[in-house]
Structure 1
């Protein structure tokens, strides 16, 4: 198996914790964990298989200049990158109670950028078993990646990651 790049942010939070679970499920020797706060275009160029892990932020944040997030400097690189030779999977963290109307929106907004820039998006998942009101990450009845709620459904994360990684192994 070719190495997979798993870009994640923020560092040392729930996304980082979820990234470690994904890496363990793949086998840590198969994944390079790369914090987005330390990533560059050269890192994107090195890999044909990419996973992005991101936490939920609202559309207003995406439409403004980033200043205080680990994605602040890396997001413009992603926005301008040609993903035409890349397979990309996404996981997004969200709070389905506090942000029921914006559940894992950032994953959906990031997916739109990947697709616009000709990337092959893999790892779509069913919304079955999730409680939320609305999400930018839902298209044609599927999530555009794996939603995780580390605030209220942390106990479901290992099972969800295990099923998703099994799916990704066949799609990568």
Structure 2
């Protein structure tokens, strides 16, 4: 079995593409891609090293139209896991132009869910927000993004470089 479980959603879109880039940057044989659509808490428990890939839709649609998304269904599974002794990294996709007040908020919501399940959970590979343009984000906690923000809509040319740099931090934090 792979050493790292990379849980992502939705499938067949930008999050999936970025998940594959993260997998390649860390090492394909080390990372198993798992769609959150088919995953459970039992799947999460199999790994001591976890990466989560999540997207953020606009706040006005998050609570309504998208309440039945892969992640909306998977969030209860996240809270069923004890993350003590595990290392967790998060990347999130967002749109800093259309949703500057909610940029990668889902990444922050996921972080809070993990910390609620295990206050001592070790979430690694934070990112300096000063190199991003946005107004507000629930993913900025204690002055840093809790993971890697990616904007495939308006900054796709920066994705490769951002993923490569972040993957190096993840590898170091994961002891690879």
Structure 1 and Structure 2 fold alike (TM over 0.5): yes
> 5+ residue gaps in structure 1?
none
* RMSD (CA atoms): 1.9
Q: TM-score, normalised by structure 1?
A: 0.92
- Per the TM alignment, residue 66 of structure 1 is displaced from its structure 2 partner at its CA by 6.4
CA distance 1:117–1:62, change in 2 (3 Å): farther
Which runs of structure 2 are paired with 1:19-168 in the superposition (5 Å)?
Answer: 19-57=19-57, 67-118=67-118, 119-168=121-170
Aligned residues: 171
Q: Which residue matches 2:7? A: 7
> Which runs of at least 4 in structure 1 moved beyond 2 Å after TM superposition?
57-68
List alignment gaps of at least 5 residues for structure 2.
none
Asked if structure 2 preserves the Cα contact closer than 8 Å seen for 1:88 and 1:121, the reply is yes
CA displacement at 1:49 relative to structure 2: 0.2
CA 1:64–1:49 in 2, change beyond 3 Å: closer, same or farther? farther
| Secondary structure in 1 matching 2:114 | helix
